[in-house]
Chains A and B, each alone.
Chain A
Amino acid sequence: MTNLLEARNVSLAFGGLKVTNDVSFKLAAGDRVALIGPNGAGKTTLVNLITGDLAPTAGHFFMGDDDITSVSIPERVQRGLVRTFQTTRLFANLTVADNVALAVMQRKGISKRFFSSSTELPEVRAEWREILGNLGLDRLAYRKVIELAYGQQRLIELAIGLALRPKVLLLDEPAAGVPHDEAPKILDAINALPADIAVLMIEHDMDLVFKFAKRVLVLSAGRLIFEGSPKDVTADHEVRRAYLGSYADARRVD
C-alpha cells in the first residue's frame, strides 16, 4: 500500500535546541493515528512542519513518491494535506457559511471568479449545508463567527477541514474547548470520514484517543519514543516514564 504521507528523519533545531529530533513515520490510506506526548513535546511543531508553516533543518516529507519538503503551503493543501488548528483560526468577521463555503470554492477551483455571487452558488451551498448539518451548526450558518461560543468555533474549524476533502487530515486537539455534550459530534464527524483517507490526531483526552486510534505515536522532547497499538501504549515502560506517569494508575484501559 502506498504511503499518503511519510516523514523521513525530520529534524528542526533552533540553535542547539532540537525541537524535533529525527522523526520518521508513515501514514497510509485508512490510518487513524493519534499523536500524544507531554506538553512541550513538540506535537504542534511537528504539525507545522508537515504543513509547511515551518521548514525542517534536516529530513524530508513525502506524499506518495513526491518529495514535498520545499512545496509551498497552499500547494500542499491542494494536494490534499489539510490541518485544523489547536487554537481556532477562522475568518472571524465572515459568517459560518462563508467560512465553509470559501473552503469548498477553493477546493473546486472557483474561488478566483470575479463576478458570480459566492456563498449562495447552488453547488457550493448544497455542500456547506450538508457539512454544517452533520455538525449540528446549520442554525448558525448566517451568524458571524466572532459572535459564536468557543466550542462552536471548534466545530467550524473541523467543518473547514472536511470541506477541503483531505487525503491526509491533521487534527490538532479537535476536542479541546468543546463542551462535553458536544464532544461526541466531533468523534462522529471523524468516524464518518471516508475510510481511505489518513487521519493524524493530536489529543490529550485519552478516552478520545482510545476510541479513535488504531495506532499511537508518542512524542517526547521532540523524539518519537513509541509507535504501536493503543493497547500497548500504556504498558510501554518508556512511555509511562516520559508521559503517562500518574495517568497510568489513574486511567486503566481494558
Chain B
Amino acid sequence: MTDTVSHVPRRTIPFAQEAGGALAIAALGAVGYFLFPDDLAFLTRLIGISFLVLSLDLVTGFCGIATLGHAAQFGVAAYAAGIACVRGVTDPLALLGIGIFAGTLMGLISGALIARFRGLPQLVLSIAVGQLVAALANKLQWLTGGSDGLSGISPGKVFGIYNFDMYSRTAYLFSLAVLIVVFVALTRFVRSPFGLMCRAIKDDDLRAKMIGVAVYPRLVIMYGVSGAVAGVGGALTAMSTGVVGLDSVAFERSAEVLVMLVLGGAGHLWGALAGTVIFMIFEHIVAAANPFHWMTLVGVLLIGIVVFAPRGLIEPVLSLFARFRKGRAS
C-alpha cells in the first residue's frame, strides 16, 4: 500500500513536459541535419509522414476508432496546398494554412461518417471513404493531374527569406519547426479535459454517456483536430517534394501509417513518432540494401514486434521509466 503514494505526480516546473518534448525533437532534428546532410529530402518526407501518424494516433490511439482510410486527410490537404500553389498562392505559411483547412474539413466529414459506427462496420466505412477520395483524385484529372500527379509546385520563400533549396535544407528545418510546434500543442491537448475525455470514451462509451457526455460530437471534433494535424503533413510534403501523386491518398499509405503507429505504440504521442522514425529508417536502409525483398524484412520486423512488444515499442520504455522513478522514490 505504501508504494501507491509514489504515483502522485510531483510538482514540477510548469511546461516542463512541453519544453522537454520540444528540446528532444530539436536535438534529434539537429542530429539528422548535421550527420546526414545528404539525406535531408528523405528526413523531410519522414517528418511529413510523422504528422499523419500523430493524426492517426489521435483517433485510433486516443479514441479507439479503427480506420484504414486515414491517408484521405493527408492527401486532400496535399492536393489542396499543391493546387493552390500551382494557381499562384506561393507563401509557405499560407499554403500550410490551406492544408490545415482542407485537412480539418476532410477530417470532420470522415468523422461524421465513421464515428457513427463501431467495430467492423467502422473499419469498412473508413476504407470506403479512403477509396472514394482516391478515386476522386484519379478522376478529377483537370484539377489533380490524375495518375500523372500534380507537379510544378514551387512555393515561395519561408518568411520571405529562406528559399526551398535543392538540398532540402529549408524544407527540412521548416518541417522540423512546424513539428515541434504541433507536438507541443498536442502534448497539451491530449492532457486537456477534452483529450482525457476521449481516452475515457475509448475505455467505455456508455459510461461516458452516463456521466452526461455527448459522445458522437466529441469524436467528430477529434476527427477534425486529427484532420488538421494530417493536413499539416500533407501541405508540408506537397511543398517539400514539389509533387502530389495518387500515392498520398492510397490505401497502402493508410495501412502503412497504421503499422507505424502500432509499431511505436498507439495512445502515446512519442509512440507515434518513434514508430514513424523506426519504420521509415528501417524501410529506407533495407530497401537500399535489398530492393527486391525489403518488404519481407519489414514483415519479419513487424511479426517480431507484435510477438515481443504487442503494445508497441514505447510500452517497455515507459515501464522502465516508471520502475526507475519508483526506485528513486523509495
Q: Which residues of A contact B (CB under 8 A)?
A: 51, 53, 72-75, 77-78, 82-83, 85, 89-95, 98-99, 101-103, 105-107, 110-120, 139-143, 160, 164
Contact = CB atoms under 8 A, between A and B. Distances in A.
B239 to A, nearest CB: 27
Interface stretch (B138-146, B195-203, B268-276): B195-203
Contact of B196 (A102, A107, A141): A102
Contacts of B197: 102, 105-106, 111
A243 B202 CA distance: 40
A141 to B, nearest CB: 8
A51 B202 CA distance: 21
Contacts of B200: 91, 94, 98-99, 102
A102 B209 CA distance: 12
The 3 A-B residue pairs with the shortest CB-CB distance, nearest first, are A77-B212, A142-B7, A91-B203
B318 interface: no
Contact of A142 (B9, B192, B199, B209): B9
A120 B206 contact: no
Given A74-B214, A102-B200, A110-B193, A53 B4 contact: no
Contacts of A92: 203-204
A49 to B, nearest CB: 14
Nearest to A110: B193
A106 B213 contact: yes
Contacts of A113: 192-194
Given A94-B200, A114-B195, A120-B9, 7 more contacts: A91-B200, A94-B196, A113-B193, A115-B192, A117-B188, A142-B7, A142-B8
B28 interface: no
A119 B199 contact: no
Contacts of B189: 114-115
Interface residues of B, number: 32
Contact of A140 (B4, B188, B193, B214): B4
Contact of B212 (A53, A74, A85, A115): A74
A139 B8 CA distance: 10
B-side interface mostly: helix
A51 B223 CA distance: 28
B210 interface: yes
Nearest to A79: B212
Contact of A98 (B196, B210, B215): B196
B307 interface: no
Contact of B199 (A77, A89, A94): A94
B5 interface: yes
Interface in B49-72: none
B194 A111 contact: yes
Given A106-B211, A139-B1, A143-B4, A116 B193 contact: yes
A106 B206 contact: no
B207 interface: yes
A88 B213 CA distance: 18
Nearest to B4: A139
B193 A118 contact: yes
Contacts of A101: 196
22 contacts: A73-B210, A74-B213, A82-B210, A90-B207, A91-B200, A92-B204, A94-B203, A98-B200, A101-B196, A102-B196, A102-B197, A105-B193, A105-B197, A106-B211, A107-B212, A111-B193, A111-B197, A112-B218, A113-B193, A118-B191, A118-B192, A142-B4
Contacts of A164: 211-212
A114 to B, nearest CB: 5
A78 B212 contact: yes
B18 to A, nearest CB: 11
B213 A111 contact: yes
Nearest to A142: B7
Contacts of B210: 51, 73, 77, 82-83, 85, 89
A92 B208 CA distance: 12
A119 B194 contact: no
Given A78-B212, A93-B203, A107-B212, A119 B196 contact: yes
Given A89-B207, A91-B207, A102-B200, A114 B8 contact: no
Contacts of B7: 95, 142-143
Contacts of B188: 115, 117
A78 B212 CA distance: 6
A235 B260 CA distance: 68
